[in-house]
């Protein structure tokens, strides 16, 4: 897994990130979602490495990356804090400019990185994600029923950690090792059985229901937009369209027209359709906007 890549632990100030990186050329950061780790990209990253320096960290609080002590409003797990980690990581690796790709919760971090660090992000790719405020403002019975884990993981009065850590094997469901890659499967399950990681993931969702929404609202009220080229990769067999056309929802946030592609897969595109994902990323990152 990740032949030719280097595995590092990088101190970026507030946290230490576990990160793999390899290849040569313009830099691209791949950000995983919940409840995965960076190893979800194991079949995509090598396909990009011939033309790009590919960087795949665990988000703070996930995998083997650390998390600071809890702060008011769960600020330590805000997407702004995670975006700052990405920017500092790329500085450490010698890249002033880079593309950022994010899936699921990683899409929120990718968006925040492109919004907060406009002068550094060359391309933005979001996979099965919308700005968190767009979900929350459209919440109805259909969304709450289908995406109920947002509300469960976000609870603080009756913390989800106690339920999950009591029997993580019953709580989480993943494909068999052969389907998602044996090493990826082992890495994910090592994380899911770690109470510190479970807490970090819950804090991610708690930040999403509060401080992340406030950051999105402030950007929208100020008229700020993403200025770099942007692409949405939507899974054909998932439900990102639960609020309607996701491309139309993204459009007001972008200064340039959105490139929108549908990938024939379920939610975990990088594991289920790595060839198609890598092809779309290479085409977009190398000038075909």
**Active-site annotation, residues:** 104, 267
DSSP at 99: E
Rounded distance, CA 186 to CA 85, Å?
A: 25
DSSP at 37: -
Q: How far is CA 21 from the centre of its chain?
A: 17
**Which helix or strand (DSSP H or E) is residue 5 part of?**
none
- Other beta carbons within 10 angstroms of residue 90's beta carbon come to 25
Cβ neighbours of residue 180 under 8 Å, at least 6 residues apart?
A: 40, 174, 188, 268, 271
Where helices occur in the chain by DSSP H, the ranges are 45-48, 79-92, 105-116, 132-137, 141-146, 149-153, 160-166, 168-171, 177-180, 182-192, 195-209, 211-222, 246-250, 269-272, 274-285
Rounded distance, CA 199 to CA 278, Å?
A: 32
Query: Closest Cα partner for 204 from 76, 58, 64, 72?
Result: 76
């Amino acid at each position: 897994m990740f032949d030719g890549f280097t595995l590092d632990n990088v101190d970026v100030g507030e946290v230490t990130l576990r990160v793999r990186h390899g290849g040569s050329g313009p830099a691209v950061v791949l950000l995983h979602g919940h409840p995965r780790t960076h190893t979800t990209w194991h079949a995509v990253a090598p396909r990009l490495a011939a033309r790009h320096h590919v960087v795949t960290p665990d988000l703070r609080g996930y995998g083997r990356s650390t998390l600071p002590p809890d702060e008011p409003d769960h600020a330590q797990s805000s997407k702004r804090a995670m975006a700052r980690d990405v920017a500092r990581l790329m500085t450490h690796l010698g890249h002033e400019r880079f593309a950022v790709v994010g899936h699921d919760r990683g899409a929120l971090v990718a968006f925040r990185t492109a919004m907060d660090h406009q002068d550094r992000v060359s391309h933005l790719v979001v996979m099965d994600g919308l700005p968190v405020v767009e979900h929350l403002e459209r919440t109805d019975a259909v969304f709450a029923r289908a995406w109920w884990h947002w509300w469960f993981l976000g609870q603080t009065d009756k913390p989800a950690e106690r339920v999950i850590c009591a029997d993580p094997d019953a709580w989480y469901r993943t494909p068999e090792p052969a389907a998602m890659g044996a090493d990826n499967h082992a890495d994910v399950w090592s994380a899911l059985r770690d109470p510190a990681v479970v807490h970090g993931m819950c804090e991610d969702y708690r930040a999403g229901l509060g401080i992340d929404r406030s950051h999105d609202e402030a950007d929208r009220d100020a008229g700020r937009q993403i200025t770099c080229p942007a692409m949405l990769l939507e899974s054909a067999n998932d439900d990102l369209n639960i609020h309607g056309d996701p491309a139309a929802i993204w459009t007001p946030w972008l200064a340039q027209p959105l490139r929108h592609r549908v990938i024939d897969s379920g939610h975990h595109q990088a594991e289920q359709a790595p060839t198609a994902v890598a092809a779309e990323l290479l085409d977009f990152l190398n000038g075909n906007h």
